[in-house]
Amino acid sequence: MQTQTPCSDYVETKGLIYFARMLDKIRMKATGKLPPGYFTGVEDPTHFDARCTRFLAVNYDELVEQTLRGGSDEEILEWCFARGRRPSEEEISVWNAFLRKRGWRDEASAELTESKKEAGFGDRDDIQTWVDLHDAEEGRTPRALFSR
């Protein structure tokens, strides 16, 4: 079966980044289209899937079941809001900023540096965050963290 890559972390669902990517990974994994090496689930609490489901206060396994039943990303996010919690606009803004900057001058920086090297991107200064690394690994140009 041919594999695919999930959408960018930057894709927004009702203003929330990363959620669409998590659903893409769930759907691709279920159909055997997610390439090996992608992290899914909540086993590691530092991975974005775990952080996102905690942020929304939903159970990951229940989210998988709901996603595989069908529906748009927006409908599934509404299900999360009803089942867990509906973050305020300010909370979503803080969430988005956290994810966009994860790995840049924080406790995840050393691991990001190692992962860049392993992926063959050790010399790439444009990869400053985990979101940048995801985009680079999937053939997209990383966005500048700060415009100059």
Q: In this predicted structure, what is the pLDDT of residue 2?
A: 75
Cβ contact 52:77 at 8 Å = no
SS3 17: strand
pLDDT of res. 148: 38
User: What are the angstrom distances between the C-alpha of 49 and each of 26, 44, 75, 107, 124?
Assistant: 10, 9, 18, 18, 26
List the chain residues with pLDDT less than 70. Answer: 1, 145-148
Taking the model in full, what pTM does it have?
Answer: 0.93
pLDDT at 3: 80
Give me the pLDDT at residue 146, please. 54
**Quick one: which H or E segment has residue 11?**
none
Report pLDDT for 110.
97
